[in-house]
Structure 1
Amino acid sequence: MRDVAQRAGTTIPTASKVLNGRSDVSDETRTAVLEAVSELGYVRPAGRSIADARGDDAFVDLVISGIEGTWANRALSGVEQAAVDAGVDLVVSVARLPDEGWLTRLLARPSRGVVLALVNASAPQLNALQAAGVPVVLLDPVSQPPASVSSVGAANWAGAHAAAEHLLGLGHRSLAVIAGRREHLYSQARVDGFRSAVGMHGDRPVPRVAFADWKRDRARQAALELFRTAEPPTGIFACSDHMALGVYEAAEECGLSIPEDVSIVGFDDLPEGEWVRPRLTTVEQPIADMGSAALRMLLRLRSGSAAGTLREELSTRLLLRESTGPATG
């Protein structure tokens, strides 16, 4: 702690305040201490987590990027069910950008560990949790997890590969992908998996890719641009069901029938995919199971029954419905 304080240009008590989540520290000082922790690799001595030091009744935390939408609800239900099964209490926080106060709030509580769901935590933030003796599991990590941090995800590459094989098997040659964000790990994996399947068929053109930031309206706009080209795609893979609904809207605006004029495949298997007509063919992602697996992994790390960094990838599967059909023309 003395080395951390010296590197951050502050006092030992102030550095300790930061790692205990105290609010009476300036943002500048807090940032300097977290960076020093990251650079020096400081870790609180074994058995001296915040919860252990206080002797308080402790709980586990779920920090999620947002609670709106079906994905968040399913992830929350999976984490909560696993917590109930294990007999531990759960505290839920929302990490809304650009607010990074979730870390300070978490450090101020006697947390036994945290599941970070779709939260792109920085290296200093992850190192601060490690330094405080708080185990971390990333649920559906946004970027490549550090070697020292455990994670639970889905077989994104394999799911997208299956989606492409399905469209190729129906005879579609002109294909396109509506992706999320270019820098998101799971978006990259889905694009790569789809492209890989198409690449195995040497006679098929490379699929066009548009990025829509996981937003329905931007997916609609991207699909409109694709449909208005000289050679519009006859098969579209949307990297989320939410964006697939935007493709539905674009097809309707352009007077295209699904699946007669264009086949559409989504990803997630959200209830909305069964509400639309025709029902959406999609890749099922076991979101609730992923949440449960993340909480169980956290408890194993906390108890010491698991050593080192853990990785778990749950399988996906293609669900065939009515939004895909044979290519015509």
Structure 2
Amino acid sequence: MPPNARRTTLADIAQAAGVSVATVSKVVNGRGEVAPRTRARVQALLDQHDYLAPVVRHTEAPGGPTIEVQFKGGLKSYVAETLEGIMDSAARAGAAVAVSKASGAPHWARDLAAAGRRAVIAVTSVYTAAHLRELARAGLPLVVLDPLHLPDRRVNSVGATNFAGGLAATRHLLALGHRRIAYLGGPASAVCNQARLHGYRAAMEAEGVPVPDGYVLPGEFTYDTGLRGAAALLDAAEPPTAVFSGNDEIALGVIEAARARGLRVPQDLSVVGFDDTDLARMASPPLTTVRQPLREMGGAALRTALRLANGEKVESHHVELATELVVRTSTAPPGG
């Protein structure tokens, strides 16, 4: 906002919408008793004017600030390891952590602020413009850990070098002598999946190795995606000799699909994962994978959230930590 610009008020919105200030206040605070068409008209004007309600004043909880950590889906190994990093850093900083599943309930951000939360860390969650407005009205800064979409300039986020990880994984398989290498990934729209796929393609192109049709399959970051995707790949007329998986869960599904077909890993099929969760170390055989520094990413997210909660500025709205290839026994030369 320019220095001399006047902040849009509830009265301005009410006059433009042809309703009372009380009606606009109800829309801002998510209360009922407003007709749907009226609510939509008022909300459109609020969005048009980028109206922000006065920031909520937070009372510091005894013992230090409390940061809300939200995630979607089940508490999988990936989420658990990032939570460990968040909680370890919080303990060192004298802060508290509250963990919940992402909710679409009305007034969710205002309720968090009223409960004494000072910031929100979202683990791989998708936040819309409406979410951001609600958080801003509640005075709660947001940090997204491993964002599913390209970082928004209004959102602070922490991720990893996914492109470099995809490049390293594929180069490893190429160095072993593999040429029929498939990529079995997560959602096609997820920015982390896109970066890993681009790294895979860059390595294949640099080596002059073509990627056959059907060798790149999107899915979800789940074991079932590994099972189904590997079944399609391994039952093809010319199956791959190696599969680079978008995460460790997918890789475990690939290993099981191979076992069900009487194929040995790594003698008949090499498999690489991504994340280096506990699953990679407990797999049979132990999984070659790209290590995301999940605990370190959680710690970086926590420190960023605390700085924002204290009104401090951060140097960059998006931070990426380095990935690293960890070679175990799920990869070998083809036919080895």
Structure 2 length as normaliser, TM-score?
Answer: 0.85
How far apart are residue 27 of structure 1 and its match? 10
Q: Give the counterpart of 1:221 among 202, 218, 228.
A: 228
- Letter of the 2:195 counterpart: A
How far apart are residue 11 of structure 1 and its match? 4.8
Match of 2:68 in 1: 61
Unaligned runs of 5+ in 2: 1-8
Q: Give the counterpart of 2:89 among 61, 79, 82.
A: 82
Q: Is the deviation greater in 142-151 or in 165-174?
A: 142-151
Match of 1:42 in 2: 51
Q: Is the 8 A contact 1:64 1:93 kept in 2?
A: yes
Match of 2:196 in 1: 190
> CA 1:178–1:294 in structure 2 vs 1: closer, same or farther (change >3 Å)?
same
How far apart are residue 103 of structure 1 and its match? 4.0
Q: Alignment RMSD, CA only?
A: 2.7
Q: Give the counterpart of 2:276 among 248, 269, 281.
A: 269
Name the SS of the counterpart of 1:173 in structure 2. Answer: coil
Q: Is the 8 A contact 2:233 2:239 kept in 1?
A: yes
- Letter of the 1:123 counterpart: A
Q: Give the counterpart of 2:124 among 108, 118, 124.
A: 118
Matched ranges for 1:1-329 at <5 A? 1-2=9-10, 3-4=12-13, 11-13=20-22, 15-16=24-25, 36-44=45-53, 49-52=55-58, 55=59, 57=61, 59-95=66-102, 99-101=104-106, 102-103=108-109, 105-205=111-211, 208-307=215-314, 310-328=317-335
Q: Map Cα deviations across residues 220-269 of structure 1 (whole Å, 9 max, x no partner).
A: 11111111111100010010100111101110111111111110000011
> CA 1:190–1:113 in structure 2 vs 1: closer, same or farther (change >3 Å)?
same
Q: Is the 8 A contact 1:50 1:111 kept in 2?
A: no
Q: Is the 8 A contact 2:188 2:219 kept in 1?
A: no
How far apart are residue 23 of structure 1 and its match? 5.9
- Letter of the 2:193 counterpart: S
**Identical aligned pairs, as a percentage?**
37
Q: Is the deviation greater in 172-181 or in 138-147?
A: 138-147
Give me the whole-angstrom Cα distance separating, in 1, the residues matched to 2:316 and 2:98: 24
The structure number with the bigger radius of gyration is 2
How far apart are residue 304 of structure 1 and its match? 3.0
- Letter of the 1:143 counterpart: H
Unaligned runs of 5+ in 1: none
> CA 1:259–1:82 in structure 2 vs 1: closer, same or farther (change >3 Å)?
same
Give me the whole-angstrom Cα distance separating, in 2, the residues matched to 1:264 and 1:288: 24
Give me the whole-angstrom Cα distance separating, in 1, the residues matched to 2:176 and 2:94: 49
- Letter of the 2:327 counterpart: L
Q: Is the 8 A contact 1:51 1:110 kept in 2?
A: no
Give me the whole-angstrom Cα distance separating, in 2, the residues matched to 1:309 and 1:15: 36
- Letter of the 1:84 counterpart: A
Q: Is the 8 A contact 2:113 2:139 kept in 1?
A: no
How far apart are residue 128 of structure 1 and its match? 2.1
Q: Is the 8 A contact 2:184 2:245 kept in 1?
A: yes
How far apart are residue 277 of structure 1 and its match? 1.8
Q: Is the deviation greater in 127-136 or in 7-16?
A: 7-16
Name the SS of the counterpart of 1:134 in structure 2. Answer: coil
Give me the whole-angstrom Cα distance separating, in 2, the residues matched to 1:271 and 1:33: 50
Name the SS of the counterpart of 2:57 in structure 1. Answer: helix
Q: Is the deviation greater in 149-158 or in 123-132?
A: 123-132
Structure 1 length as normaliser, TM-score?
Answer: 0.87
